[in-house]
Amino acid sequence: MRPGHHAHGSADGERPLDRALFRAIARHLGPVLRDNRTRVLLALACLLGAKGAILLIPFLLKALVDGLEAGIEATPAMLVLLLVLAYGGARFANTLFGELRDTLFGRVTERAMRRIGLQVFRHVHSLDLDYHLNRRTGGLARDIERGTSGISFLLRFFIFNIAPTLFEIAMVAFILMFSYGVSYALIVLVSVVAYGLYSFRATSWRTRFVREMNSADSRSNTRAVDSLLNYETVKYFGNEDFEARRYDASLAEWEAARRRNRLSLFALNGGQALIIALSQMAMLALAALQVRDGAMTLGDFVLINQFMLQLFMPLGFLGFVYREIRSSLANIEQLFALLDERPGVADAPDAAELTWQKGVVEFRDVSFAYDRERPLLRDISLRIEPGEKVAVVGASGEGKSTLVKLLFRFYDPDQGQVLIDGQDLRDVTQTSLRRVMAIVPQDCVLFNDTLGENIRYGNPGADDAAVTAAIEAAHLQSFVERLPEGLDTLVGERGLRLSGGERQRVGIARAVLKGAPLLVFDEATSSLDSRSEAAVLDTLKAMAREHSTLVIAHRLSTVVDANRIVVLHEGRIVEQGTHHDLLVENGYYSRLWRIQQRRKDQS
C-alpha cells in the first residue's frame, strides 16, 4: 500500500458522540427531510393526535370510575356508555394515528436509505485502486448494511419516540402538579432524571462492547466471504478444515464479544427496572394514603396509576431506543468514516473533458513506485503514434502492467507525465479518459450474470447486431452455439463456470464492443490454447490496424508483428525496435527470445 492514503474508521474503544457526527447526519439526511417535508409534517400531525389521545385516556378512566362509585342515581347509564365509548375511541385513535404516522414516514425512511445506499455505492466505486486492493469485501458489505439500517432506526425512533416521550413526560408532570400537588410532579421528575442519567451513563459504558461485537461480526463475515470466493483454491489444497478452524476462531471472538454485550445489557436493564419499580411504588403509596384519608377519589387513584403506566412504558422503551440509537450511531459513524475516505487519485477541481484528436500517447520521463523504498519504473519515456502497435515486454515484475495502470490513471506517476494528444491525464476527468480506452486484461473477471450481459458490459447500450459482431470477432460463436441456453447461460461467481480461455475471449468481445480508439492488451492471450490464440491474434491484428494499441506481453511470439517492441529491464527501457532488429542486436530481448523458444521446443 502506498503510504499516506487512507485513514480508516474509528477505533473500537469508547469515545463520546461528537458534534461532527451529528453535523454529518444532518448534512446527509437534511435534504431527504426537506424533499419530503409534506409527509414529515403529516406524520408529525398524526403523532400529536396519538399523544393527545393517550393523554386523554386517564381522565376518561377517572370519570368512569368516579361515576360508577357515585352509583346509578348520580351517573346515568347513557353517561357511562358514552365514557366507555370515548375510552374505546381514544384507544383506537392512539393506535390509528400511530399506524398512519408510521405509514407516512416509512417512505421518507426508505428514501433516505436508498439515497445514502446509492451515495455509498458511488463513493466506494470512486475510491482508488489502492483502497480496493486493501479492502475486505465481507466486512465492507456488513458495515454498509449496518450503517443504512442505523440511519433508518435513527430517523424513525429519534423523531417519533425520543422527542414525543420527553413531551409526554413534561405534560404528565405538569398535569400531576397542577391537579394533585408538587409531590407527584417531583416523584415523576426525580425518577425520570435518575432513569435518564443511569441509562445514558450505562449505555455510554457499554457502547464499546457494541463496537467490539460489530468489529468481530465484520471480521467473521470477511473470513467467510473470502473463503467462499476462493472455493477452488481451498479445494485444491484440501484446506477445508483449516478454513473451518480460522472461521471458528473468528466466530469465537464474535461469541465472546456478544457475551460481554449481553452481560452489559443485563446490568443496564436491571438498573432501569429497579428505578421504575421504586418510582411506581412511591407514587402509588402516596396516592393510596390520600385516597384512604379522603383527600382524593378512587378515580384520582386510577388516573395517577394510569399516568404512571403510560409514562413508564414509553420511558422503558425510551431506554431501549437510546441503547439502539447509540448502537446505530456507532454503525453510522463507521458508514460516514467510509464516506470520508478520499481517493488518492481524484479529478482536479478544474478538470476538463479529454479531447481525442490524433491519438498520440506519451509517457514522458515517468518514474513510479508502489513502495518508496523499491522504485519500479525509472525515467520511462515512450511515445505511441496514431495507428501504431507498441508492445512492452520483459520479465515478470518489471512494471509492464503498471504502465497500463498509469495510463488508466489508477495511479499518478511520482515523477513525469502521461499524456494523450498533449493533455496531461491529471488535467482531464477520469470518466472521459477511460471512455477512449478499451482493455483486454490478463484475468478477465465476469459478473454473476448471463454470458450475453457480460459481453454487453463493454457497451451496455449496444444492440444485438453489435453484440453478435463482437462475439464473432472474439471467436466465441461456436462456444455460444454449444451452450444449451446460449447467451442466457449464467457464468457463475466471478465467471468461474467458464474456462480461463473462454473468459479471456469474453474480455476481447467486450473490448470490440466498446469500440474505443485506444486499445490495451494486457497478456490478452495468456489463457488461450495454441489454436484459439492463433485465431484471436488475427482478430487483434485486425483491430490494431484501426487503433492505437499498447500490448503488454510475456510471450514474445504474440508480438512479433508489432510496429515497435519496447523492452523493460530493472524498471528502465533498455531496448526498442522491431522484432527483427532486436534479434539482430543480440541483446536482452534476443536472450529472452532464445529462452522462450527453448522452452517451447522442450514442451
Residues in the chain: 603
How far apart, in whole angstroms, are the C-alpha atoms of residue 15 and residue 333? 11
Model pLDDT, residue 137:
63
389: exposed, middle or buried (Cβ count in 10 Å: 0-12, 13-18, 19+): buried
Model pLDDT, residue 111:
81
Q: For 517-570, what is each residue's pLDDT tens digit?
A: 888 888 766 656 666 666 666 766 766 666 788 888 888 888 888 889 999 988
Q: For 94-130, what is each residue's pLDDT tens digit?
A: 889 888 888 888 888 888 888 888 888 888 887 777 7
User: CB within 8 A of 448, min separation 6: which ones?
Assistant: 490, 491, 492, 493, 494
Model pLDDT, residue 92:
92
578: left (phi over 0), alpha (psi -120 to 50) or beta: beta
Distances (CA, A) of 573 to 378, 470, 565: 9, 35, 10
- Stretches where the chain sits below pLDDT 70 are 1-19, 70-76, 133-139, 158-160, 163, 232, 236, 314-319, 323, 524-537, 539-540, 542-546, 601-603
Model pLDDT, residue 12:
38
378: exposed, middle or buried (Cβ count in 10 Å: 0-12, 13-18, 19+): middle
Domains (range + CATH), the chain: 19-339 (1.20.1560.10), 447-515 (3.40.50.300)
Contact yes or no for 54/310 (Cβ under 8 A): yes
Residue in the block written with cell 356508555: 81
Q: Which of 322, 315, 316, 403 is nearest to 367 (CA)?
A: 403
User: CB within 8 A of 143, min separation 6: which ones?
Assistant: 9, 218, 331, 334, 335, 338
